Structures are given as structure tokens and as C-alpha cells.
Amino acid sequence: MKRGGKKGQGPSTALIVALIFGIAAVGTTLAILISRSGDDSADDGGGKKAKKSKSGKSGSSKGGDSDGDGDSDGGGDKGGETPSEGYKPEAEPSIPASVAQGRVDPSQLSKGSGRAVKSDSKEVDPASSLTFTPDSDPYCKEPASITDILKEVGYNIDKELRATASMSDSEEEKIGDELLKEILQAKQFRGKVDTPAMAEYRRYIAELAVPLLVSAKRKGIVYDFHTIDDPTVNAFAIPGGHIFFFRGILEKPRRIENEAQLAGVLAHEINHVDKRHTIAIFEYLKTLGALTGDGADIGAILVSMARHPFSTTQEDESDAEAVKFLIAAEYSPKQFVSMWQNWAEIENKGQKPEPGNPLEELLATHSRPERRACNAMKVTMANKPSDVKSYYVGATNYRQRKPRARQQY
């Protein structure tokens, strides 16, 4: 494992890759944190990072034809259609010009009153179809176990520690920008991030993020969306609002089938940032006084924390918040449930899954797809409003890489 050789130097490329993909063993993290959580003597690095430039709303592409295909792409495209009950064009947030660089600033987004989905849109799920029975659904049969209790305890400790060591948004963005440099230099990613071949996907993802980011609680983080031209089936987020999608998750058959499912994965990654999951490790380091220490010392702590035993609870929390973001943006949470059911079938090759080993589940970084499908059902039933008639799916949008804000089908 490569080490940072200078004092104050950030974690090495190998450590960043380990952090992103969870390639580390579980250490005695909780014991270390509990015994040293009161030590907050670390120098924060001196000064705050200059805020990322925020593009204003001028140049919004809503209602325009910026993709050159001759369509009138605006979310307010009326075209003689009968407006839906409660439909108003301003319910679809305007797409800022900054999406061309993969950037969206939540503080500059706003959503007007009314419904964003038109009554004559064909690619929708009726609200009546969002009816689940988690108590009897086969995806919810796995009983609660002692590992669930342990994870919940660990997660509560995690939240308390982060509450006492919160970093400013500018500090987080500075760390995120440094991590981005490491990723760009890493052998695994060199020459693959934000390539011209993936530019259309990058813009599409940034555009799709706009209605989702209206629900973000933390308005001080500017989000940067990236693509990686690699067949890996994955997406991940790092501090400071940097979110990455591999080509594999976007193009591999059956992984994502429509815009609502992509919106669900995107909302999940956004919530890792919005709920401070991605910055947690660095907040711990600040508490421990290790943030500006020797690179090797930081590396050792990163390795021990990269797969802490409550990370699945953070994943579950991101899923739950993603469902709420989908509902608020009028994208179908039913499709998010279907995606996890589909992934469960792929993972189990059509076979009924065997009960997981408790220790293995405790150390896993993600819950099983069956559990995630079940959790999405529960959150949907608890949060869907009674006055919404339909939720958008957008299979054609996904195939054409053109978000609902530009054209509804």
C-alpha cells in the first residue's frame, strides 16, 4: 500500500481506492473513537477553501432546444395538450446551464406549485399501483436478527460522533476536491473519468439530478457529477458532492431500465452526501486530531474505518431518503422497488436466496437486494401522498438520455 510521504499530505491513491470500494478489514474503530472522541485539537488545515463557483439560473435550458435535435424540449412544452389536473410547468425545476459541466448548485434550484407530470403522459405508474404489503411480501420474509440490533447501535454511535465533529461545507469541498485529484491519478481510473465518449451520459445525469436536489437539506454543497468509462457495475459518492457513475451500471442489460430507476440510484448517492455519510471518516479524523498528521497514520485509520459494521445502516438510510426524494420529484418509487427485485433475481440466478451468515451480514457494506426492495416498499407506503395521480417512469427518456424536464412521454 502506497504511503503519503510528507506531513499534511492527503491519503494515497491506494487508500482512496480502498475507501471507495471498501477493500479493508474491520478494525477496532469504535473502541478507538469512543476512547478518543473528546480530542478535537487538530488543526483544520488553515483557512477555508474558496467556494466552488456557482452558475446562476441565467442560461436555463428549460423550454429550449439545446441538444440540437429539433424538438421543443421544455418541461413546459404545451403543444396543444390538455393539462393534467394540477399540472403546472413551473413544478419542474429549471435546468441550469452548469449541467453542461456536470455541476448543479441546490441553493439555486426552486420548484413551483402544482404537479410536474402531465395527465396524458404514457410512461407513468398510476398512484394506485404503488400499493405494497410488506408484512406478507416474499421479499420481506427475512426476519430481523441480532445483526440488525448491533448495526443500529453502531449507527447511533456513528451519528452522535459526527454530530460533535461536523465539518463546514467549505472544508468538506476542499477534501472532496483533493480526493478527486487522487481518483483522476489512480491507475484504475486514469483517462476514464469524464471522457468525451461519456459526455452525453454525464450531462443527462446532471440534468436528472435537478428535480432530486430540490429536496437536499444541505444547500451549501455544490454537486459535481462524473462518469467513468469502465464496464464495472457501480456508482459511488465522495465528500464535497462528487458523484460517479460507471458505464457498466448505465449500459449493462437489466441493471437500470428507465429514468425512474436511474433517479433512484442517483438519489441514493446524493443522500450519502446529504446525510454526511461520505464525510464521516474525515470528521472522525478531525475529532481524533489526525487530519493533518502523517499520511501513514491517516492511512492506518482509513483502513480500519473503510468498512465499519454499521455501513449497511447508512446504505439503508440512503435508500429510504432516496424513496422520499423520488416521491417529491414525482418519479415512481415502484420502479426503485422493481430494480432491487430485479437485482435480487440476477444475484440469486433465479434461486431462492439462502439466509445470510450473521457475521457476514454484519460486516457487509450493503444490505441484500431483497432487504432493500422490502425497505423501499415500506418507505413508499409511509410517505406517498394521497393527492398525486401518477408517478413518472420514463423508459424512452432513459434510452434517449433526455430527462423528463425536456420531454415527457
Three-state secondary-structure class, residue 221: coil
| The predicted structure's pLDDT at residue 130 | 95
- More confident site: 306 or 194: 194
Would the pLDDT of 115 be above 60?
yes
CB 121 within 8 A of CB 392: yes
Q: At what angle do helices 311-329 and 333-348 cross, to 10 degrees?
A: 140
Closest CA to 262 of 358, 338, 158: 338
Mean pLDDT of 181-201: 91
- What is the average pLDDT value for the chain, to the nearest integer? 75
pTM for this one? 0.75
| The predicted structure's pLDDT at residue 366 | 59
For residues 225 and 302, what is the distance between their CA atoms, to the nearest angstrom?
24
The 10s digit of each residue's pLDDT in 27-78 is: 322 222 222 333 333 333 333 334 455 544 434 444 334 443 434 344 433 3
Would the pLDDT of 187 be above 70?
yes
Beta bridge partners of 242: 224, 238
For residues 61 and 89, what is the distance between their CA atoms, to the nearest angstrom?
14
| The predicted structure's pLDDT at residue 186 | 80
Would the pLDDT of 290 be above 70?
no
Three-state secondary-structure class, residue 327: helix
Q: Give percent of the chain with pLDDT exceeding 70.
A: 62
Q: What residue spans of 214-332 are helical by DSSP H? A: 247-251, 259-274, 280-288, 295-305, 311-329
Residue 194 dihedral angles phi and psi, to the nearest 5°: 55, 50
Q: Give percent of the chain with pLDDT exceeding 90.
A: 45
| The predicted structure's pLDDT at residue 55 | 46
Residue type, 171: E
The confidence band for 241, taking pLDDT boundaries of 50, 70 and 90, is: very high
Residue 154 dihedral angles phi and psi, to the nearest 5°: -60, -40
- More confident site: 126 or 155: 126
Give a three-class secondary structure readout of 348-366. Answer: HCCCCCCCCCHHHHHHCCC
Three-state secondary-structure class, residue 409: coil
Would the pLDDT of 364 be above 70?
no
- More confident site: 294 or 132: 132
The 10s digit of each residue's pLDDT in 306-359 is: 334 336 778 888 999 999 999 999 999 999 999 999 988 887 775 554 554 444
| The predicted structure's pLDDT at residue 142 | 65
Would the pLDDT of 362 be above 60?
no
CB 144 within 8 A of CB 374: no
Mean pLDDT of 18-33: 33
- More confident site: 1 or 123: 123
